[in-house]
Amino acid sequence: MHLIPDRGFQHPVPSEITPRDLALNRRQWLAAAGATAVALPALPAAAQTARPGRLAPLPGARSSVPGASTVEKLTAYADASTYNNFYEFGTDKADPARNAHTLKTRPWTVAVEGAVAKPGRFDIDTLLKLAPMEERIYRLRCVEGWSMVIPWVGWSLSELIRRVEPTGNAKFVQFVTLADRAQMPGLRSSVLDWPYVEALRLDEAMHPLTLLAFGMYGEVLPNQNGAPLRLVVPWKYGFKSGKSLVAIRFVERQPKTSWERAAPEEYGFYSNVNPRVDHPRWTQATERRIGEDGGLFAKRRPTLMFNGYEPQVGQLYAGMDLKKFF
């Protein structure tokens, strides 16, 4: 493990970070016990997902994409919809649910632009009909050391990418979140430069697991979870999945992302879930599953390489030094 000097960036939620000594003790205990992930028998997706009855229904068919439906216990909707990072509405975990009622999701358009043969502006109703909706039950791993299991509803981003026909100059895809001070009180904060920008390599964006999500738990997305559409990249830390998208841009050069600009020693471009590469100020070897008994003191579980999606995505990074390209 390498240590990087603290350049003064203060993580907004220090209470979520596992003390290093405690985490290392747990890591040693797990190694001694030979802890491994246990595969459970598959269950029908519909049996795991019940609509909470809060928002408009948005059903999705069972996905045939390999790895698209983990059989782990779902995180309760009440937890998934109230424990969020969405700094445009505040930096406290409860702020998005408290403040995101100001977000207006109709009308809504997304500009698809840059190095594509068929650029355009797509309204949300067009996007909802662009491809058949699927339910994807994904693990979500936050860089802060906690995790959830969420049933998303959407379709592979590759469906849209193929339609706009990237040119040979398209090497990366940039995702831009809405930045409207009238709707987003968190924009008054200087914690990040706005708008929030994330990016993927084109082959990452084209991977079938990369999801453009419009719903969760069989309903449209709550505002605080990134309505009306968001990215979900399950093998990367959660901040890579931009919310409330207003632009998707195809570019030739690797763009700087918002967290890279804020703290480049701490947040890399790739930000793949990797238990062997610690954050400079806390371990990534284990995680706390939100909603499990014990709260902050619940037994932590080992974090899986690529968040458990290594069989599906590991080949994307063959030969790369994942400590250098973190």
Please provide the average confidence, as pLDDT, over all residues in the chain. 88
Task: Tell me if 252 sits within 8 A of 169, measured CB to CB.
Answer: yes
Residue 118, in any domain of the structure: yes
pLDDT of residue 293: 78
Strand partners, 247: 111, 176
Identify whether 40 is part of a domain.
no
Length of the chain: 326
pLDDT tens digits, residue range 46-89? Answer: 434 889 999 999 999 999 999 999 999 999 999 999 999 999 99
Of the listed ranges 50-59, 94-103, 245-254, the least confidently predicted one is: 50-59
pLDDT in tens, 1-12: 333 333 333 344
φ/ψ (deg, to 5) at 25? -60, -40
Is the pLDDT confidence value at 159 over 60? yes
pLDDT of amino acid 101? 98
Give the pLDDT confidence score for residue 297 in this predicted structure.
Answer: 76
- Contact partners, residue 322, CB within 8 Å, separation at least 6: 270, 272, 274, 276, 277
pLDDT tens for 120-151 read 999 999 999 999 999 999 999 999 999 999 99
Stretch 210-231: mean pLDDT: 98
Task: With beta carbons less than 8 A apart as the criterion, state whether 75 and 148 touch.
Answer: yes
The stretches of the chain forming alpha helices (DSSP H) are 20-33, 45-48, 77-80, 95-99, 124-128, 158-164, 202-206, 258-262, 310-313
β-partners of residue 69 are 137
Which SS3 state, helix, strand or coil, does residue 319 take? coil
In a domain, 24, yes or no: no
Residue 210 has pLDDT above 50, yes or no: yes
> Residue 23: its pLDDT value, please?
38
Q: Which tens digit of pLDDT belongs to each residue from 162-179?
A: 999 999 999 999 999 999
- Residues 6 or more apart from 273 whose CB is under 8 A from it? 141, 235, 236, 237, 284, 303, 304, 305, 306, 307
- Pick the more confident residue, 314 or 295: 314
If DSSP codes are grouped into helix, strand and coil, which group holds residue 30?
helix
Of residues 292 and 303, the one with the higher pLDDT is 303
Q: Is residue 62 part of a domain?
A: yes
Our count of domains for the chain comes to: 1
Q: Report which of 166, 176, 181 is spatially closest to residue 196, judged by C-alpha positions.
A: 176
- 19 occurs within a structural domain: no
- Assess if residue 116 is contained within a domain: yes
Whether the Cβ atoms of residue 17 and residue 145 lie closer than 8 Å to each other = yes
From 36-50, 55-69, 221-235, the region with the lowest mean pLDDT = 36-50
* Burial of 170 per CB tally in 10 Å (0-12, 13-18, 19+): buried
Q: Which H or E element spans position 198?
A: strand 197-201
Identify the three-state secondary structure at position 279: strand
Share of the chain above pLDDT 90, in %: 82
Amino acid letter, residue 119: P
- Residue 282: give the domain boundaries: 51-317
pLDDT of residue 50: 84
Residue 41 falls inside a structural domain: no
Residue 308 belongs to a domain = yes
The pLDDT of 192-201, averaged and rounded, is 98
Residue 155 pLDDT > 80: yes
Q: Which residue has the higher pLDDT, 222 or 50?
A: 222
Cα–Cα distance between 158 and 207 in angstroms, integer?
7
Residues 137 and 46: beta-carbon distance below 8 Å: no
Question: Which two three-digit tokens encode residue 78?
Answer: 């009440």
In the structure, what pLDDT confidence band is assigned to residue 298 with cuts at 50, 70 and 90? confident
Query: Which CATH number covers residue 292?
Result: 3.90.420.10
